[in-house]
Amino acid sequence: VITVTARIARASWMYAGIGYSLTLAHVGALQQTLSLVANAMGLAACAPAIDPGDIVDNALRLDSPAEVGVGEFVVG
């Protein structure tokens, strides 16, 4: 399991109102690249559609709302 986290305040300061959507766009591009690489290596890969939310944030001890989990990726 690969979990991607981000410091939203930093992105929001730099890019104003589009900071969070820009972060999600970058996570989507990363997930697509990981999926293509895993497929090329013959591995099973999945980007879960359901966000576990606070469970991952608490397990990683993220300082919410400064740091949040923005995406997950599973390689098997």
Q: Which residue has the higher pLDDT, 44 or 67?
A: 44
Distances (CA, A) of 39 to 34, 44, 50: 8, 7, 21
Separation CA 4–CA 27 (nearest Å): 7
Helices (H), the chain: 8-15, 19-40, 54-59
Per the prediction, the chain carries an average pLDDT of 83
- pTM above the 0.85 mark? no
75 bridge partner residues = 45
Q: By C-alpha distance, which of 3, 13, 1 is closest to 60? A: 3
Q: What is the pLDDT of residues 23-46, one digit of tens each?
A: 889 999 999 999 999 999 999 999
Q: How confident is the model at residue 53 (pLDDT cuts 50, 70, 90)?
A: low
